[in-house]
Each structure stands twice: as C-alpha cells, then as structure tokens.
Structure 1
Amino acid sequence: MSITQQHLLDIYRAHQLGEPAPPAPGTHDRQVVREWRDERRFRAVLAGRPARGRQRIRHALGRWLHPRRRLTG
C-alpha cells in the first residue's frame, strides 16, 4: 500500500467516525527538520561544543570550490 492509498484510507475512516481528517503526508516535514536541527545545536551547547550552523558548510564549500585559496579566520 502506498502512502497516498494509506492517507485516503485514513481520511475515509476519519469521515466515518466523524473525526477531523489527518494532515497530508509531508505537511510538517520542514517543522520536523527545524526541531531536529535545534535539538542538535542545543545538545552541542550542553556538551560544551560550539553550536555551528551554516558557517561550517560555507567553509567546506569554499575549500571545495577554491582548493588553492586558503580561508583564514
């Protein structure tokens, strides 16, 4: 059974029971990813590590795109 079929079955059951329809699959994916990222940063701070974000990614991309140029700072 696919995700779409399962969702349609859930909507049908909710309608039969007079309950509100469940959200569509993938509706809250962005929120889940944000909460997961915030949790990782929070645990890093509790462990005494710096809570890094995009700086690490930018640094890695800079090294990859400009291998001869050294990034300082």
Structure 2
Amino acid sequence: MNALHQYLLDSYRAEQHRDRLPPIPGTHDIETLRAVRRHRRCRTTPSGRPRHRLCAALDRWLHPGAC
C-alpha cells in the first residue's frame, strides 16, 4: 500500500466517523526537510563545537546524556 492508498483509506474512515480529513501526502515534506537541515546545521561545526549558545542549550536539553 502506498501513501495515496493510505490517504484514501484514512479519508474514507474520517468521513464515516465525521472526523477531520488527514493532510494530503507530501503537504509537510518541505517543512520537514527544512527542520532536518536546520537541526543538522545547529548541531555542530567542523571543529565539533556547537555554533550558537541557543543551539548548545537545545542540544543539552534534547540529548542530556550525550555529553
């Protein structure tokens, strides 16, 4: 089953239960790719140090046992 089939099935079920329709496949792809790119840029520089204080604080908060 591909994404389109799953979307059609979920849409049908949502209509039957009078729920909200699911998002169309691919709607949030660009946002997801940008978030991944931003996360990778934020993690480290070539020297291995965090780029910004905010990124370092977020990294410590999100990955407490990594350092």
Q: TM-score, normalised by structure 2?
A: 0.63
Q: Which has the larger radius of gyration?
A: 1
Counterpart residue number, 1:21: 21
Q: Number of paired residues?
A: 49
Q: Distance in 1 between matches of 2:44 and 2:13?
A: 43
Measured in 2, the distance between the counterparts of 1:2 and 1:31 equals: 21
1:53 aligned residue: none
- Once the two structures are TM-superposed, the CA of residue 44 in structure 1 deviates from its matched residue by 1.1
Match runs of 1:36-51 below 5 Å? 36-44=36-44, 47-48=48-49
Query: Could you report, residue by residue, the CA deviation over 1:10-69 in whole angstroms, capped at 9, with x for unpaired residues?
Result: 000011111110001111000000000111111115x4166xxxxxxxxxxxxxxxxxxx
Q: Matched residues in 2 for 1:33 and 1:48: separation? A: 23
Do structure 1's residue 35 and structure 2's residue 35 form an aligned pair? Answer: yes
Alignment-derived partner of residue 11 in structure 1: 11
> How far apart in 2 are the matches of 1:24 and 1:43?
31
Identity of aligned residues (%): 43
The alignment's TM-score, normalised by the length of structure 1, stands at 0.59
Query: Is residue 42–residue 50 contact of structure 2 (8 Å, CA) maintained in 1?
Result: no
SS for the counterpart of 2:44 is: helix
Any gaps of 5 or more consecutive residues in structure 2? Answer: 52-67
